[in-house]
Amino acid sequence: MESDLLLAGSLTEFLSAEAVVNDEATLNRYAASINGTTCRPAAVVFPVHTDDVVSLVRWANQKRVTLYAISRGRNLGYGDAQGTAIGQVIVDLSRMDNILEVDEKLGTVTLQPGVSQGALYTHLTERKSRLMLDVTGAGTAASVVGNMLERGFGHTEYGDRFATVISLCAVTGEGKIIRTGFSGYSGARTASTYRYGIGPMLDGLFTQSNLGIITEMTFELMPRPEAVSMFVLSSKNEDSLSAIVEAVREMRLSGVVRSAVHIANRSRAVGEKDNKLVGAWNLSGAITGPSAVVRAKKRYVKKVFRQHVSRYSLWFFGKRLLKIVRWIHEHIFRLEVYNALRDIYDLQTGVPTDEPLRTLLNDDRLNSSELKTGDYSTCFSWINATIPANGEDAETAIQLLEKLFKENDYEFRVTLTAETPRTLVLISNVTYPRTTAEIIRAQDFTAKCSSALINAGYLPYRSGSGMYDNLPAIPEETYSFLKSIKTATDPNSVLAPGKYRI
């Protein structure tokens, strides 16, 4: 490979000088991950048009350089903005940040990858939209598109985010522009509403993959419901997990509860803080709809919990009650639980917040748009798995992981999220000081946990740079099929080689 300097010089032949950055500080920032590892790129480029991306891909083919695309690079705990190998050119799409169209009637949005969840929220609020977006806990500066491409999940009824994608525009490894669904058919009246198009559906090929750089996406937005009631359950009983999972599955399968439902152990809910309201297991979800429907749904939720779980506390919070709790918290006495309740309610009602990040990094002043992950003395890494939504499997996976955490002296923090009615996504994390020894120890530990979960049949839902070795091998036939697509569409393997083991 040519020296980094020459490389940057050749990039400015078709990109503006401001669009090519390779100063030390920038490279170090993109190299650093919150998990404590580094992976230094050769340069960072900031395209502003799909045509720039096409030129970049053609250039990469000529120079035999590899590219790694990010939307906003907030893949925190999954490798952040790191590429799949050192010396890559990071294609940072954060300057492609236009919200191209919001269709109020049909409830859709078309946008570019650089749009953050904060920017989309502000845009919808300013135009007094009746639509809301599903948000994740990754902070206001995290992208919408990058998260969807990773098949991340949020907190509302549209929490299974990939399921809301209608179409996307991708630049392939040869520099061809592909539009999925009907969006590539001129004059198609359902281009922004009908995800299936005709023939094979391609959108999935571009998620968790290295087959294209996405420059545009259309997806569904949720009409803001007349009423939202957040329900919160806590059980002091350590053995209640199985019963809670059975209840959650029943209410998700019935379709009465349509939001993602999060079940957290005590450590994940409040850390080491003393809080009498928090139990061994804690759960939150939301029911929405016209007020009369929400009232009926509440009765149903109460009934299902009564049938399955013993000894628990269950609360419902609407906007008004939460305001009262806030007033008490601010004027009468401090309610430790208020901040946590407000954060969950925000997420359930489509308001992005930096609070989960602040809590995780113990930094009350953190503004996610200025986050420099290399600056924090605390590091963390995720461990995740998919589990069928039944009590027995949930218990097995939790026991297996808890034992490993105890043996290795890490605090066990875990959530199980009913992202879909039939599957729970387990998310756990280790937090450790930024020292070489602790970083290596944590990497070994997360690899050990992933492998134990995989051996027990609980395969991961997602991975990231520096973590792909922890994934199970792709079945031979599937691998060969994917490999032939990769070779045909990206013959020089210029797009993120090795991502998700492809």
Ligand X SMILES: Cc1cc2nc3c(=O)[nH]c(=O)nc-3n(C[C@H](O)[C@H](O)[C@H](O)COP(=O)(O)OP(=O)(O)OC[C@H]3O[C@@H](n4cnc5c(N)ncnc54)[C@H](O)[C@@H]3O)c2cc1C
Contact between 47 and ligand X by CB under 6 A: the answer reads no
Q: Is 137 in the site for ligand X (CB under 6 A)?
A: yes
Per CB under 6 A, does 140 bind ligand X? no
H-type helices in 338-421, by residue range? 338-348, 355-361, 391-407
Examine residue 75 and tell whether it contacts ligand X (CB under 6 A): yes
Binding test (CB under 6 A) with ligand X, winner from 243, 360, 385, 404: 360
Which of these ranges, 174-182, 247-255, 288-296, 352-360, lies near ligand X under the rule CB under 6 A?
Answer: 352-360
CB of 447 to ligand X, least distance (A): 19
Site for ligand X in 111-130 (CB under 6 A): 113
Count of CB atoms situated within 10 Å of the CB of 293: 15
From the number of C-beta atoms within 10 Å of its C-beta (0-12, 13-18, 19+), residue 257 rates as buried
Shortest gap between Cβ of 426 and ligand X (angstroms)? 13
Residue 430: CB minimum distance to ligand X, A: 13
Query: Cα–Cα distances in Å, from 24 out to 40, 80, 231, 320, 336?
Result: 10, 18, 48, 51, 43
| C-beta atoms surrounding 287 within 10 Å | 26
User: What is the rounded CA–CA span in Å between residue 444 and residue 409?
Assistant: 13
Indicate the length of the chain as a whole number: 502
Q: How far is the CB of 400 from ligand X (least distance, A)?
A: 23
Question: Considering the rule CB under 6 A, would residue 386 count as an interface residue with ligand X?
Answer: no
Instruction: Tokens for 225, please give them.
Output: 């419901």
Please write down the HEC assignment for all residues of 330-348.
HHCCCCCCHHHHHHHHHHH
What is the rounded radius of gyration, in angstroms, for the C-alpha atoms of the chain?
23
Selected from 48, 55, 74, 304, the binder of ligand X by CB under 6 A is 74
The torsion region of residue 438 among left (phi > 0), alpha (psi -120 to 50) and beta comes to: alpha
Site string for ligand X, 305-324 (x = CB under 6 A): --------------------
C-alpha 290/C-alpha 285 separation (Å) is: 17
53 binds ligand X (CB under 6 A): no
Candidate list 36, 77, 350, 497; residue touching ligand X; CB under 6 A: 77
For residue 151, the minimal CB distance to ligand X (Å) is: 8
241-300: which residues touch ligand X (CB under 6 A)?
none
Query: Is position 355 an interface residue for ligand X (rule: CB under 6 A)?
Result: no
Smallest distance, ligand X to C-beta of residue 474, A? 17
Report the residue number, 237 or 423, with the smaller CB distance to ligand X.
423
How far is CA 134 from each of CA 75, 182, 254, 292, rounded to the nearest angstrom?
17, 24, 22, 24
Nearer to ligand X, 85 or 293 (CB): 85
Question: By C-beta, is 312 or 432 nearer to ligand X?
Answer: 432
**Extended strands (E) in 272-318:** 281-289, 313-317
Residue 180 makes contact with ligand X by CB under 6 A: no
Contacts of 313 (CB under 8 A, 6+ apart): 233, 234, 235, 277, 279
- Point out which residues bind ligand X (CB under 6 A): 69-77, 93, 113, 136-138, 142-143, 145-147, 149-150, 152-154, 213-214, 356-357, 360
